[in-house]
Amino acid sequence: MVGVCEWWDVPVRRVLDVGAGPGFWRDWLQAQRPGVDYVGIDVSEHACRRWGHARADIATWRPADRFDLVVCQGVLQYLDDPACATAIVNLAAATGSVLYLEVPTVADRATVLDTDATDLDVHWRTGAWYRRRLGRWFRAAGAGLWVRRDAGVLLYELEAPTSPAVRRG
């Protein structure tokens, strides 16, 4: 994700990891991009105590500043619809340029997921449900990446097939 941001001329100086768990993103950034300012948040008191994250719930918490890259991996499916919708608003507020979002949909459950190895006790929503809410602030860029519409990131048409190309001047 960081490499793609760099390809798009998005400097990654600050990263927010929502639902940071054991801190895999922190560990990777420390090894590969040691100058990046990393903030991890998690709702789990255990995860925060054990791995040093700030305790926060993206459904109720909004940071004071934006981050170049926000990572939200395996979080939104655990929130009910109102909390998830609010979390998306807060993710948009936190994202300066790029959001990496991983969340399984109803279609994924039927076609992609290994149901024997996946937690299925979640709130199942359609991709359209997420796209309607994310589309207010973001353009889909593929591979779970969403680019803020007002970030000035220039994408080729096929990099963001769901929206028209952004042109200079």
37, part of any domain: yes
Q: Is pLDDT of 9 > 90?
A: yes
Q: Give the CATH number of the domain where residue 82 resides.
A: 3.40.50.150
Share of the chain above pLDDT 90, in %: 83
Write down the pTM of the prediction.
0.92
Distances (CA, A) of 62 to 12, 96, 125: 20, 13, 23
DSSP letter, residue 158: G
Q: What pLDDT does 169 receive?
A: 40
Q: What is the pLDDT of residue 55?
A: 97
Q: What is the mean pLDDT of residues 77-95?
A: 98
Residue 51 lies in a domain: yes
- Distance (Å, rounded) from C-alpha 74 to C-alpha 64? 23
What is the rounded distance in angstroms from the CA atom of residue 104 to the CA atom of residue 126? 9
pLDDT of res. 11 = 95
pLDDT of residue 159: 80
Segment 49-61, tens digit of pLDDT: 999 999 999 999 9
Three-class DSSP labels, 37-93: EEEEEECCHHHHHHHCCEECCCCCCCCCCCEEEEEEECCHHHCCHHHHHHHHHHHHH
Is residue 48 one of the residues assigned to a domain?
Answer: yes
Residue 29 lies in a domain: yes
- Residue 165: inside a domain, yes or no? no
What is the distance between the terminal CA atoms of the chain, rounded to a whole angstrom?
27
Q: Mean pLDDT of all residues in the chain?
A: 93
The answer to whether residue 112 sits within a structural domain is: yes
Give the pLDDT confidence of 108-167 residue by residue, as tens digits.
Answer: 989 998 989 888 889 999 999 999 999 999 999 999 999 999 999 988 888 876 654 444
Q: Which domain holds residue 47?
A: 2-159
Count structural domains, the chain: 1
Give me the pLDDT at residue 168, please: 43
* Residue 169 within a domain: no
pLDDT at position 162: 60
Q: What is the pLDDT of residue 65?
A: 94
Give domain status of residue 164, yes or no: no
pLDDT (0 to 100) of residue 158:
82
Q: What is the pLDDT of residues 23-81, one digit of tens each?
A: 999 999 999 999 999 999 999 999 999 999 999 999 999 999 999 999 999 999 999 99
Q: What was the pLDDT predicted at 165?
A: 46
